[in-house]
Amino acid sequence: ETGVTQTPRHLVMGMTNKKSLKCEQHLGHNAMYWYKQSAKKPLELMFVYSLEERVENNSVPSRFSPECPNSSHLFLHLHTLQPEDSALYLCASSQDGGGAGELFFGEGSRLTVL
Amino acid sequence: GQNIDQPTEMTATEGAIVQINCTYQTSGFNGLFWYQQHAGEAPTFLSYNVLDGLEEKGRFSSFLSRSKGYSYLLLKELQMKDSASYLCAVPSGTYKYIFGTGTRLKVLA
């Protein structure tokens, strides 16, 4: 199994749909992250979980709802999204949440909101 | 405020050397990361500098000057496969990393 896997890789949804993004890490890391990557913008941190507890919620609209059922899995539930939410959503994990640890990224879920 | 600046795009020729610069302003400092991201793929770790100076790793080297808030990534003997975006990032507190917008490097034959 590769380090961090994300599904689906591509998702197209209407504004009234409900969908979920899934992330799984096989590295035994303690922390998991959701980032949003938009064209010509820096990576934006959305949520961080450490040992299944949410430790960071970076002023993200409530139409994005994270879930971390265990230290290996992370979900991002999506509902009533807006077209401006179209972006690449990257999951990452790290061993050390203290800021000195390398992030391991998944390949991302490319979301298009119509 | 906290900020990272890096050029948006650079172009270089196969076999050449290219230097990608990154300047940062942060309230504290706990090292600087460089990541490589090919189109449609995950960002992958290239280097981590916490002390001043040059760290060499094969064709890639990374330099840090903490007093100047400056780093660069040096790529030697460029290959077509080096065409990618290069992201500069600094930790900013627990679980937080500030990223630059990334530099898209195009390597021409």
Distance CA B8, CA B12 (A): 14
Q: What are phi and psi of B37, to 5 degrees?
A: -135, 110
Question: What integer best gives the mean pLDDT of chain A?
Answer: 91
Q: Between chains, do A99 and B98 touch, taking CB under 8 Å as contact?
A: no
CB under 8 Å to B4, separation ≥6 — which residues? A42, B22, B23, B24, B25, B88, B89, B90, B98, B99, B100
Would you say B32 and B47 are in contact if contact means Cβ atoms under 8 Å apart? no
Distance from CA of B21 to the nearest CA of A (A): 16
- Would you say residue B54 has pLDDT above 60? yes
Nearest to B48 by CA among B95, B88, B105: B88
Least CB–CB distance from A99: residue in B8, B30, B40: B30
What pLDDT was estimated at residue A100?
A: 64
> DSSP class of residue A10?
E
pLDDT confidence band for A54 (50 / 70 / 90) = confident
Q: Which residue of A has its CA nearest to B37?
A: A107
Distance from CA of B26 to the nearest CA of A (A): 13
Q: Between chains, do B91 and A100 touch, taking CB under 8 Å as contact?
A: yes
Q: Between chains, do B92 and A99 touch, taking CB under 8 Å as contact?
A: yes
Q: Which two tokens stand for residue A8?
A: 């689906």
- Would you say residue A97 has pLDDT above 80? no
Distance CA A49, CA A32 (A): 5
What pLDDT was estimated at residue A98?
A: 57
Percent of chain B exceeding pLDDT 70 equals 100
What pLDDT was estimated at residue A95?
A: 87
pLDDT confidence band for A13 (50 / 70 / 90) = very high
- Would you say residue A75 has pLDDT above 70? yes
Would you say A90 and A106 are in contact if contact means Cβ atoms under 8 Å apart? yes
Which chain B positions have a beta carbon within 8 Å of A98's beta carbon? 91, 94
